[in-house]
Amino acid sequence: MADPASYRPATGEIPTDPGVYRFRDEHGRVIYVGKAKNLRSRLNSYFANPANLLPKTYAMVHTAASVQWTTVGSELEALQLEYTWIKEFSPRFNLVFRDDKSYPYLAVTLGEKYPRVQVMRGERRKGARYFGPYTAGAIRETVDTLLRVFPVRTCSPSIFKRAQQSGRPCLLGYIDKCSAPCVGRVTPEEHRDLAEQFCAFMGGEAKRFISGLERQMGEAVAALDYEQAARLRDDVAALRKVFERNAVVLSEDTNADVFGVHQDELEAAVQVFHVRGGRIRGQRGWVVEKVEDSSPAELLEHLLQTVYGEEGIANDGIPRRILVPELPANAEQLEEWLGGLRGGKVAIRVPQRGDKAALLDTVRQNAEGAMKLHKSRRAGDLTTRSLALQELQEALDLPTPLLRIECYDISHVQGTNVVASMVVVEDGIAKKSEYRKFAINGAAAVDDTASMYDVISRRFRNYLAEQDERRQAPPETGEVDGQPAPRARFAYPPNLVVVDGGPPQVAAASRALADLGISDIFVVGLAKRLEEVWLPDSDFPVILPRTSEGLYLLQRIRDEAHRFAITFHRQKRGKSMTVSALDAVPGLGAAKRKALLAEFGSVKKIRQASVTELAQVRGFGPVLAAAVHTALQPVPGEAEPVPAVNMTTGEILDS
């Protein structure tokens, strides 16, 4: 038996989205398929104390050798994908769900004179439209909700015949959840039209019906018919409750391969969903090394050639339709080549709306999750980290091991709100407690090189000052002039400084260190476009292999510094773009503005206050109170003063 700890994924690697998971044995066979509202919570439960597991679950997790998951958009999508894969793989531990009685379907018997909505299980019957599968509770709630808008017959033949003979409808007919064709309230044609509308709604045309009802509701309000408007409002609410986009079940004639790609400068994560007969019959995923300088269109061209050419054809061959996020290069030639392999026409398309676009987005989300998982596992592996640090030391010809690396990035928008970030990596692992952020003002904010010089100077000037202070402290007491020595804000200097940029940024950082008299810290720059590593005073960059673990480590550090800088920049920009009418009052400083707002709650209430009331605020006199009152009163003929607004979020702050 396998030890579950040998294949247990790290908690942080598992997404918290809804999805479907698959346990596989050592031979790659699927032995269990399950669904979850929260994948992380559900999967962690399988790796709990074995003594608390049920015998069947204990056997399953000790038989399995790996676990995989696929994220979807909702619990309903998870349910339907779980059902599809249970029928596809027949997992040995899904004993309860193997036969067709697992999940009920919603069926409309269009082959009858008076079509009937009912719940069906087992084999499909001729002349009926099927929707689902659903859980037993969900399907009955769905039918009950829809009948108020589409009152289609749901009764059995015996009840329908008895109502015809008695001339009285059943209870549903009396409460308007059946149009009562049994007693002639509607004609057979009108009732069939209701049934077809029901099918159209369940088939994906919900927005059309909801929009139509909303339009009728508006017309009823305009005609002052508020009772009818209220009924239509309730109908709209009912349809919205039922309608939930389903991106994992398409029309039965849909045969397509859906590609999702998430990429960075070095690698691309690819996911493919194989849809056959409207169901996702298979899924493949892998991470590929990108061709240097390749565009997304070129990457997709190479990807399709590899999947359908070099790697052979699986999953029922090449489908009629291939859905991609962007048209590949030479799309027409690719269609011709794939058509020749298939022996029929093949169309490569980019879906823009509807179910196929929703499914494409689901595949893209899975590709993004696969890339995060790939990077986290790669960064967390001790052997890989050691190899990356060793490769980087050798490639840069550095004399000392890279125990600590610091990376700096500048962020701004057209020279405004300039900030910088510093991230720290020790032994190949991010040390977030050592991260720092810098606000840059004045002459240092002129351009990126000036900003970089300023940041490096400030960071290492502080470091040198701390070193001087600590040298003055006697080692026995750890005190300076009878006071405890200040706690070091930086553990120790880095072996390597990485800056985001090319030769100009590297030169600025090197000059800052030289001006401080520091010569034992090495500086490199990582240029984003071509991933080139630049050294000071070098005419040519160091080109690391694109498969190099050292290059990957530099890229990961640079991306983290960029993320940290962007976050700080957005915070600062949001604060700087918050404007208020109080800012224009002469003689009113930040402390008094805060006191006013604490007293009155908002600028609107301050504007309504009298001079006497304003003068009662702590720190205010009659003169300042009169100045505030005058400044906030609207001038005749001018618009009302603009309230305080956060220009980033649009939030009104003064009201």
DSSP letter string, 21-83: EEEE-TTS-EEEEEEESSHHHHHHHHTS-GGGS-HHHHHHHHH-SEEEEEE-SSHHHHHHHHH
Kindly report which listed range (19-28, 48-57, 91-100) carries the lowest average pLDDT score: 91-100
Q: How many CB atoms lie within 10 A of CB 139?
A: 19
In sequence order, which residues have a C-beta less than 8 Å from that of residue 111 and are 6 or more positions away? Answer: 126, 127, 128
What residue has token string 């699986």?
314
In sequence order, which residues have a C-beta less than 8 Å from that of residue 380 and are 6 or more positions away? Answer: 10
Residue 422 has a pLDDT of: 93
Is the pLDDT score of 651 beyond 50?
A: no
| Superfamily for the 4-97 domain | GIY-YIG endonuclease (3.40.1440.10)
Contact status, residue 419 vs residue 448, Cβ threshold 8 Å: no
- Give the Cα separation of 8 and 10 in Å (integer): 7
- Give the Cα separation of 400 and 397 in Å (integer): 9
Beta strand ranges found along 241-293 (DSSP E): 256-263, 267-276, 279-289
What percent of the chain stands above pLDDT 70? Answer: 82
Q: Extract long-range pairs of 389-395: CB within 8 Å, 24+ residues apart.
A: 389/427, 389/428, 389/550, 389/553, 390/550, 391/544, 391/548, 391/549, 391/550, 392/496, 392/550, 392/553, 392/554, 395/533, 395/542, 395/544, 395/548, 395/550
Residue 644 has a pLDDT of: 43
Question: Of 3.40.190.10, 3.30.420.340, 1.20.1260.10, 3.30.160.20, which CATH number belongs to 397-475+489-574?
Answer: 3.30.420.340
Could you tell me the two tokens for 408? 């700096």
Contact status, residue 34 vs residue 82, Cβ threshold 8 Å: yes
Could you tell me the two tokens for 156? 């059995």
Residue 39 has a pLDDT of: 92
Residue 364 vs residue 145, higher pLDDT: 364
What is the band of 543 on the pLDDT scale with cuts at 50, 70, 90? Answer: confident
- Enter the DSSP assignment of 548: -
- Give the Cα separation of 330 and 395 in Å (integer): 38
What is the band of 643 on the pLDDT scale with cuts at 50, 70, 90? Answer: very low
The size of the chain, in residues, is 655
Is the pLDDT score of 354 beyond 80?
A: no
Q: How far does Cα 68 stand from its chain's mean position?
A: 19
Q: What b/e readout covers 424-461, taking b as 16+ CB neighbours within 10 angstroms?
A: bbbebeeeeebbbbbebeeebbeebbbbbbbbbbbbbe
Residue 640 has a pLDDT of: 47
Q: What is the pLDDT of residues 234-249, one digit of tens each?
A: 877 777 766 554 555 5
Q: How many CB atoms lie within 10 A of CB 543?
A: 13
408-413: average pLDDT = 88
Is the pLDDT score of 23 beyond 90?
A: yes
How high does pLDDT run on average in the chain?
Answer: 79
What residue has token string 């056997």?
59
What residue has token string 């999967």?
43
Nearest to 202 by CA among 157, 265, 244: 244
CATH architecture of the region 578-646 = Orthogonal Bundle (1.10)
Highest mean pLDDT among 18-22, 151-155, 575-579: 18-22
Contact status, residue 444 vs residue 419, Cβ threshold 8 Å: no
What is the band of 496 on the pLDDT scale with cuts at 50, 70, 90? Answer: very high
pTM beyond 0.95: no
What is the band of 95 on the pLDDT scale with cuts at 50, 70, 90? Answer: low
Class (C level, CATH) for 256-377: alpha beta
Give the H/E segment covering residue 442. none
Is the pLDDT score of 508 beyond 90?
A: yes
Task: Supply φ then ψ for residue 588, to 5 degrees.
Answer: -105, 105
Q: How far does Cα 647 stand from its chain's mean position?
A: 24
Is the pLDDT score of 115 beyond 80?
A: yes
User: Mapping DSSP to helix (H, G, I), strand (E, B) and coil, where does residue 419 land?
Assistant: strand
What is the band of 204 on the pLDDT scale with cuts at 50, 70, 90? Answer: low
Is the pLDDT score of 645 beyond 50?
A: no
What percent of the chain stands above pLDDT 90? Answer: 10
Across the beta sheet with 19-24, what order do the strands follow? 30-36, 19-24, 66-71
What residue has token string 């400083």?
589
Contact status, residue 450 vs residue 443, Cβ threshold 8 Å: yes
Q: What is the pLDDT of residues 243-299, one digit of tens each?
A: 554 555 566 667 889 999 888 766 788 888 888 877 777 778 887 766 555 678 878
Is the pLDDT score of 87 beyond 90?
A: no
Contact status, residue 567 vs residue 618, Cβ threshold 8 Å: no
Nearest to 241 by CA among 351, 171, 149: 149
User: What are the extents of the domains in the chain?
Assistant: 4-97, 105-242, 256-377, 397-475+489-574, 578-646
Residue 245 vs residue 472, higher pLDDT: 472
Q: How many CB atoms lie within 10 A of CB 22?
A: 20
131 pairs with which residues across the strands? 106
Residue 648 has a pLDDT of: 38
311-330: average pLDDT = 74
Q: Do domains 256-377 and 397-475+489-574 have the same CATH topology?
A: yes
